[in-house]
Amino acid sequence: MAHFEEGTTLDRFLLETMHAHPGATGSFVNLLKQVALAGKLCSARVQRAGLAGMFGATGSMNIQGEFVQKLDIYANETFKRALEHAGVVCMVVSEEEDAPIFVPPAFEVGEYVFAMDPLDGSSNIDTNASIGTIFAIHRRRSAGRDGTLADVLRPGTDLVAAGYIVYGAGTVLVLSTGKGVHGFTLDPSVGEFFLSHHDIQLAPRARSYSCNEAYAAQWDPRLQEWLRRVKEPSLGWSARYIGSLVGDFHRNLVKGGLFMYPPTAKAKSGKLRMLYEAVPLSFLVEAAGGSSIDGSRRILDKVPADIHERTPLFIGNRENVEEIAEVLRG
Ligand code: P6P
C-alpha cells in the first residue's frame, strides 16, 4: 500500500489506489465521489437538524414498519439524486424504498448497483447520538438498462466496495475496496474528506461487547451463559451500546469490540438487514482482519432471498466472533 502523506484527500486517495486495482474504471471513482458529495450534504443537514426543524418524525412508516424521520427522507433523496444523474449506477436499493429504484430515462446508467441504509440509527436523531449512512457496491451482472435482483441477491464476497459515513462529533467516511479499510474525516471548513485512519486493523481479540442486554432473556441459553461468564470481574470486560449500528460499529472498528444482535422473540431472524447493514459492515470488518457471522454462517457467504432480508449479527474482532461460533456450535 502506497504511503499517504498528511492532507491526502479522498479524491487523491481514490485516484492513486484505483490505478492499483485492475479493472477499476473512472466511473468507480466518480461513484465514490458522488457518495462523498451526498455525505457532505447530509452531514451539513444533520449538524443543523435542530435548527432546520428536521428533528422528529414525518408521521409515515417505511417498509420496515419504522416511523420515518425527516432526515431519513432527506438522506434517501440526497443519495438517490447524487447517484442517478452521474451515469454510475443502474439500480439503487434503499432501506427507505419498498422496491429497487432505477435511473430516470433522462440520465445514463452505469455498471454499478448501490445498496444503502441512507440514515441508520435515525431513532437517535433527536438525542444527538451518532447516526450514519451505510452502503454496499456491486458491479452489475445483468445486461440491459435497468439492474435486476440478480445483481444484488448474491453473496457479499462479490462486493467491489462497501463503507459508511458516520455523522457524529465529526463526519467520517470509512471505505474498503477489499484490501484494507481507510477512514476519511470531513473538514467542513474546506468541504474535503482527508485521510485520517489509514489501513485500520483489528487486534485478534477485544474485551468489549455491544448488545441490547434488555433482550438477553430471549437469547439462546448458551449465549446467555456466555454473557454471564464474561462479566466475571477478573476478565476485565466492558460494555458499550448506543443503539445506533453505525456508531457502535465505528467505535468497535477503531477501538475493538464485539457487536451482537441475536435473534429475539420479536425479531426471530434478527433485526438488522443483510444488503445494506450486515453485509457492508461484514465486508469492512473482514478487510480489517475481523470476522462476522449470523451465529453459524459467515455473513459474506449468505445469499439474501429478498432485498430487505434480516439476519442475526455477531461482528468484530476475529477471536471474539470465533468464540461465539463455538458457543453456539457446542
Ligand atoms: P434496538 C436503529 O434503529 C437500528 O436499526 C440500528 O442502528 C441499531 O443497531 C438497532 O436498530 C438497535 O436496535 O432493538 O437495540 O433498539
Q: Which of 68, 164, 244 to mutate to test the pocket of ligand 1 (most atoms within 8 A of CB)?
A: 244
What is the structure's pLDDT at 246? 97
Q: Is the CB of 62 under 6 A from ligand 1?
A: no
Judgement on whether residues 73 and 173 belong to the same structural domain of the protein = yes
Spatial distance between the Cα atoms of 41 and 74, rounded to a whole number of angstroms: 10
Lowest mean pLDDT among 69-83, 200-214, 245-259, 283-297: 69-83
What is the structure's pLDDT at 260? 98
Q: What is the mean pLDDT of the chain?
A: 93
Closest CA to 96 of 283, 305, 275: 275
Question: How many helices and strands (H and E) does the chain possess?
Answer: 7, 16
Lowest mean pLDDT among 2-16, 115-129, 196-210: 2-16
Judgement on whether residues 234 and 192 belong to the same structural domain of the protein = no
- For the chain, strand residue ranges (E) read 57-61, 67-69, 89-94, 112-120, 131-139, 161-167, 171-176, 182-187, 192-197, 208-210, 238-239, 258-261, 272-273, 291-293, 310-311, 313-316
Residue 105 lies in a domain: yes
* Domain hosting residue 109, numbered range: 10-197
Spatial distance between the Cα atoms of 126 and 152, rounded to a whole number of angstroms: 33
Which of 197, 219, 247 finishes a domain? 197
Read off the pLDDT of residues 80-119 as tens digits, 9 standing for 90 and up: 999 999 999 999 999 999 999 999 999 999 999 999 999 9
Closest CA to 168 of 82, 242, 238: 242
Question: Which protein residue has the closest C-alpha to ligand 1 atom 2?
Answer: 121
Q: How confident is the model at residue 120 (pLDDT cuts 50, 70, 90)?
A: very high
Count of structural domains within the chain: 2
Task: Judge whether 280 and 136 are in contact, CB under 8 Å.
Answer: yes
Between the CA of 175 and the centroid of ligand 1 the distance, in Å, is 22
Between the CA of 121 and the centroid of ligand 1 the distance, in Å, is 6
Judgement on whether residues 157 and 104 belong to the same structural domain of the protein = yes
Read off the pLDDT of residues 170-196 as tens digits, 9 standing for 90 and up: 999 999 998 899 999 999 999 999 999
What is the structure's pLDDT at 123? 80
More confident residue, 111 or 1: 111
pLDDT greater than 70 at residue 54: no
Residue 1 lies in a domain: no
Judgement on whether residues 92 and 213 belong to the same structural domain of the protein = no
Between the CA of 68 and the centroid of ligand 1 the distance, in Å, is 14
Q: How confident is the model at residue 163 (pLDDT cuts 50, 70, 90)?
A: very high
Between the CA of 258 and the centroid of ligand 1 the distance, in Å, is 15
CATH number of 133's domain: 3.30.540.10
Judgement on whether residues 157 and 238 belong to the same structural domain of the protein = no
Read off the pLDDT of residues 233-246 as tens digits, 9 standing for 90 and up: 999 999 999 999 99
Judgement on whether residues 213 and 189 belong to the same structural domain of the protein = no
What is the structure's pLDDT at 52? 62
Between the CA of 245 and the centroid of ligand 1 the distance, in Å, is 6
Residue 202 lies in a domain: no
Q: Which atom of ligand 1 is nearest to the CA of 247?
A: 7
Which of 197, 223, 247 finishes a domain? 197
Which of 166, 197, 228 finishes a domain? 197
More confident residue, 246 or 16: 246
Q: Is the CB of 243 under 6 A from ligand 1?
A: yes
Judgement on whether residues 49 and 190 belong to the same structural domain of the protein = yes
Residue 4 lies in a domain: no
Q: Is the CB of 250 under 6 A from ligand 1?
A: no
Between the CA of 122 and the centroid of ligand 1 the distance, in Å, is 9
Spatial distance between the Cα atoms of 55 and 58, rounded to a whole number of angstroms: 9
Q: Is the CB of 213 under 6 A from ligand 1?
A: no
